[in-house]
Amino acid sequence: MRTTFPVNPFRQALGIEIEIPRPGGCNALMPPVPAACDPGGGISQGAVATLCDITLGHAIAGQLLERVSFGTVHLQIAFHRAVGKAPVRGEGESPLLAPEWKEAMASCRVLRMDGEICATAQGFFARSPKRQPAEEEPGASPEWEMPDAQSLPALLSLLPAADDLQVLDVRPVLLNPEGIGHGGALAAALDLAMRSSLLARGAGEVALRTLDVSYMLPTLPGEVQLQVQIDRKGRSIHFAQASARDGDGRVLCAAVGIYGAALGV
């Protein structure tokens, strides 16, 4: 059972702490540091999506005796209650892996300090060919600076490019230990892009009800385009989808989000 893991810049930026209590289990704690919060000071639902991805992945990684490369294939999250401004914790479980495993799944729930469940998630993962971590690649620098971001949107720093199109610069703080875009960071960015398009259409402040993210290709450092499509904007429920594409137009990951009015406590 592993209890120590490589440097994960995005996890560190959000202040997430990991504990592996047993093989197939993971406990994670996320405090309301500014980089994990929305501009109003509450923990962002995008940060909760990251907490889910990290909790799920570490429930699998904690079973491994050595470092094995694997990545998120699909992430499904349902939000049940408002998150609030206090720390939240993730509790993850994964079935024990077979020796020659190629695919794995895990589930988790996110709880507030009062014990109420604010989100539940499932993740599906696939083993991948070994890739050198960014700090070991020729010419790559292991150094990255902890950003002084006062909110999650400030940390992601999306740049509007056109209607329903934004640009995400996948810089070192948004990478995972393999040196590619962190699945949680990409989920949070796709959520933020969909929110921006809904806001531009007069939807006002909305809350995620469900978020499904599929990961097709590794997201390498550099700029990616986030394209949003609003499928239906109703009086109280809105349906949106977004995709991240590289410079060649290839879809790297895609999300479907259902949004509604603010969740109750």
Q: Let me know: does 105 contact 94? Beta carbons within 8 Å.
A: yes
- Which pLDDT belongs to residue 265? 67
Does residue 142 lie in a domain region? Answer: no
Residue of 162, 152, 153 whose CA lies nearest to 228: 162
In a domain, 4, yes or no: no
Q: Is residue 30 part of a domain?
A: yes
Is 140 domain-assigned?
no
What pLDDT digit, counting tens, does each position of 154-190 carry? 999 999 999 999 999 999 999 988 889 999 999 999 9
Question: How wide is the angle at C-alpha 205 spanned by C-alphas 202 and 208, nearest 5°?
Answer: 115
The closest alpha carbon to 97, from 1, 180, 30, belongs to: 1
User: Count of domains in the chain?
Assistant: 1
Does 224 map to a domain? yes
Return the pLDDT at 1. Answer: 76
Q: In the predicted model, is pLDDT for residue 136 greater than 50?
A: no
pLDDT score recorded for residue 212: 98
With bands split at pLDDT 50, 70 and 90, how would you rate the model's confidence at 135? very low
Residue 184 domain flag:
yes
Q: What pLDDT does 261 receive?
A: 87
Range(s) of the domain holding residue 252: 9-128+151-260
Averaged over 68-95, what is the pLDDT? 95
**Would residue 139 count as lying in a domain?**
no
Q: In sequence order, what DSSP letters do the residues of 163-227 get, joined into one string?
A: TTEEEEEE-GGGB-TTSSB-HHHHHHHHHHHHHHHHHHTT--S-EEEEEEEEE-S---SEEEEEE
Residue 140: predicted pLDDT: 38
Does residue 144 belong to any structural domain of this protein? no
What percentage of the chain carries pLDDT values higher than 90?
A: 74
pLDDT of 137 higher than 60: no
Q: Report the predicted TM-score, pTM, of the whole model to 2 decimal places.
A: 0.92
Q: Which of 132-146, 188-202, 230-244 has the lowest mean pLDDT?
A: 132-146
Comparing CA positions, the residue from 155, 184, 168, 181 lying closest to residue 49 is: 184
Q: Exposed, middle or buried, 210 (CB in 10 Å: 0-12/13-18/19+)?
A: middle
Residue 259 has pLDDT above 80, yes or no: yes
Closest CA to 115 of 84, 144, 94, 136: 84
Q: What is the pLDDT of residue 33?
A: 95
Whether the predicted pLDDT of 131 surpasses 70: no
Q: What angle do CA 237, 239, 242 make, to 5 degrees?
A: 150
What pLDDT does 203 receive?
Answer: 83
**pLDDT tens-digit map of 50-69:** 999 999 999 999 998 777 88
Q: What pLDDT does residue 138 have?
A: 34
CATH number at residue 236: 3.10.129.10
Reading the block at residue 40, the tokens are 């109003």
